[in-house]
Amino acid sequence: MIKRIRTGAAALALGLLTAACGNTGTGTIGVIDYWLWDSAQQPGYQQCADAFQQQNPGLSVRITQNGWDTYWSKITAGFIADTAPDVFTDHLAKFAQYVDLEVLRPLDDLGPTSDIQDSDYQEGLAALWKGQDGKRYGVPKDWDTVAIFYDRAAIKDAGVSEADLRNLTWNPADGGSFEKLVAHLTIDTNGVRGDEPGFDKENVRVHGFASEGGGGGGWGQTQWSAFTGSTGWQVTDKNPWGTRFNLDQPAFQDTLSWYFGLAEKGYMPSYAEIGGSNPIGTDKQIQSGIAAMGISGSWMISTFAKLTDETGAKLEVGIAPTPIGPSGKRASMFNGLADSITTLSKQPENAAKWVKFMSGAECQNMIADSGVVFPARPAATERAIAYNKQERDLDVTPFTDQVKEKTTFLFPVTTNAADITALLVPRLDAVYLGEESVSSLTGLNDNLNALFEVAQ
């Protein structure tokens, strides 16, 4: 299996490198093609594009938006067919492989982006976008952490104080006060709660905790990463550019045994209930009443703020921090997006001007005022916090406190990203389904390590 996957990756690499060497590019000089996947962010970046065009006569920005899956398939096809954009929104899960394939242009070599300073952005963000050669291949645009969204009415009906949600603890042995709350919020079809005698785990009306699947597609970012992270566990031997994995360690396997055990107890939806390999999000689960609360990312704030109930009235949603784990601290994966320039661009200096503008204070403030994400610059982050409080009456500090209190850990950046995902997704889904034991992840760990041994 490993040889087959590696062969496929090698073929893709050959195709991309051939395209990169052709360097025919697309579009018209002066019209900068910019791609992104988040439709909610498009209006904010159109504002930035309008301002950029006013300040740079003769240049314009053409924004193309595609949904997540379509976006990445078109990016890959674009590298092969010489139709890639000048600039695109990049993700850490994809970035390392694109660097390996030499389809990203080093930004240090371009005048407008040659003076980018790591210190201009949230601590640790900018350094993530440097390759093993030390060169910068992306400039931060925003960042994200995870927290717990909850239905305020469900919390009130359960007789729980919202303030208590800020002090939850968990452990893999009995789940701590976090699991007690999840059990209490769970209600079967007869109205019996999960912590009451007679609870029927086979017929649940409301689960205490939402699920977004096995987590193989993003290292459990909105699934189990907050729990594994709060044990002190980390994915690889080092980050970025780790080559040895830690999925065989007890801290990881014990945590996942507890986490997926919530579904076995009826406290979390089953794999089938959430839609299998294409799960509905925590927002939909809370909106429909399938779940009372769940973990999601800060990029979902605007979506949760717009939720309505079955009558069309605004659904009152609150945000709480992730629970404190065995390490004595809470934890959140710290991820971020950046803008990268392709080697196919015919106008790299113009493209660099646009990238520099998007990462600057003017555009970052516009994005803050759009209320969709937390911009990469600290001052713009504070502006986004204020926007959510003033315009939505929503306290989003459970997301930002993780950064201030340094309880975050970085999204794992490795080479072989596509091969890793291809191995992770089915195996973690199988554990969720109960078809594989958690101990089987030791074998998966060996397979992941073998990817790097083959590469050597």
Alpha-carbon distance 199 to 308, whole Å? 29
Residue 393 lies in a domain: no
Residue 345 lies in a domain: yes
Q: Are residues 70 and 194 in the same domain?
A: no
Higher pLDDT, 197 or 26: 197
Torsion from C-alpha of 368, 372, 378, 380, nearest 10 degrees = 0
- Average pLDDT over the chain reads 92
Q: Helices (DSSP H) in 90-151: which residue ranges? A: 92-100
Pair 367, 142: CB distance under 8 Å: yes
Q: Are residues 11 and 67 in the same domain?
A: yes
Provide the pLDDT for residue 20. Answer: 41
Residue spans of beta strands (DSSP E) within 346-452: 374-375, 408-410
Closest CA relative to residue 117, chosen from 108, 147, 96 = 108
Q: Are residues 180 and 66 in the same domain?
A: no
Residue 348 lies in a domain: yes
Q: pLDDT confidence of 28, banded at 50, 70, 90?
A: confident
Find the mean pLDDT for residues 236-258: 96
Find the mean pLDDT for residues 26-33: 83
Task: Kindly state the helix (H) or strand (E) to which residue 87 belongs, with its residue range.
Answer: strand 87-91
Which range among 23-37, 96-110, 216-230, 295-309 shows the weakest confidence by mean pLDDT? 23-37
Q: Are residues 321 and 354 in the same domain?
A: no
* Residue where a domain terminates, one of 377, 400, 429: 377
> What is this structure's pTM?
0.91
* Residue where a domain terminates, one of 359, 377, 395: 377
Domain that holds residue 289: 146-333+414-455
Provide the pLDDT for residue 5. Answer: 31
Residue recorded with tokens 């065989």: 248
Span 166-211, pLDDT tens digits? 999 999 999 999 999 999 999 999 999 999 999 999 999 999 999 9
Residue 400 lies in a domain: no
Q: Are residues 86 and 154 in the same domain?
A: no
Residue 61 lies in a domain: yes
CATH number for 81: 3.40.190.10
Q: Are residues 175 and 215 in the same domain?
A: yes
Which range among 20-29, 46-55, 147-156, 159-168 shows the weakest confidence by mean pLDDT? 20-29
Residue 398 lies in a domain: no
Residue 310 lies in a domain: yes
Q: Are residues 200 and 60 in the same domain?
A: no
Q: Are residues 247 and 102 in the same domain?
A: no
Amino acid at 452: F
Q: Quick check: bond before 240 cis, omega within 30?
A: yes
Q: Is the pLDDT of residue 4 over 80?
A: no
Nearby residues of 171 by Cβ (< 8 Å), 6 or more positions away: 325, 326
Q: Is the pLDDT of residue 3 over 60?
A: no
Span 114-150, pLDDT tens digits? 999 999 999 989 988 999 999 999 999 999 999 999 9
Q: Are residues 11 and 118 in the same domain?
A: yes
Provide the pLDDT for residue 77. Answer: 95
Q: Are residues 215 and 318 in the same domain?
A: yes
| Structural domain count of the chain | 2
Q: Are residues 363 and 418 in the same domain?
A: no
Nearby residues of 107 by Cβ (< 8 Å), 6 or more positions away: 113, 114, 116, 135, 136, 137, 138, 139, 341, 352, 355
Alpha-carbon distance 315 to 312, whole Å? 8
Q: Are residues 370 and 279 in the same domain?
A: no
List beta partners, residue 410: 334
Residue 358 lies in a domain: yes
